[in-house]
Structure 1
């Protein structure tokens, strides 16, 4: 393998096996799913990591940085990030891919948060 400044990729090691590590205290695959609140925070992080997307989210929701910070425990504020994605399918799909969930799981989490 040539020496470069780039970090190695898994493709550089075709003979290596990838191992998934799971919490040994959780034996049920369903229990390993993220809670709707945790998923909302992960989605929020994804939304805010892009400046233009973050600005669009804040503009469309009417939130500002202080109200967003203050509402991180508020189901309505958390649900707003799912609504934001649901209203722009390309972002919904990209967020799902980035978080290794399905778009349907994101929508279901929103419904669970507000029920």
Structure 2
């Protein structure tokens, strides 16, 4: 499995975690503009999965809860985000 596939798998786990938390899911839907029906289609789109991780990374408490639930290191979502479209670090020098 390559780096992007690994990142997509982690993002799918994050999407599942978000969907399983009734207090977080409406916030994600509102922030992303997605409807509940869009989640299944978005699960195959690397750009959508990147948006899932962008959303998760907005709140440290969500990162900690997600990582604890999935037995991941706390930096795993950020590393996964870097492997998805638009996640590259920009070097201005």
TM-score past 0.5 threshold = yes
1:90 aligned residue (61, 65, 85): 61
**What does residue 41 of structure 1 align with?**
12
Larger RCO, structures 1/2 (Cα 8 Å, 6+ apart) = 2
Are 2:27 and 1:56 equivalent residues in the alignment? yes
Unaligned runs of 5+ in 2: 89-93
Deviation at 1:42, TM superposition (A): 0.9
Q: Which runs of 5+ in 1 are unaligned?
A: 1-30
Tell me which structure has the larger Cα radius of gyration: 1
Q: 1:65 aligned to 30, 36, 58, which one?
A: 36
Q: 3-state DSSP class of the match of 1:52?
A: coil
Secondary structure, aligned partner of 1:35? helix
Structure 1 segments, 4+ long, off by >3 Å, are: none
Distance in 2, Cα, partners of 1:103 & 1:80: 18
Q: Normalization by structure 1: what TM-score?
A: 0.66
- Whether 1:78 aligns to 2:52 is no
Count of paired positions: 83
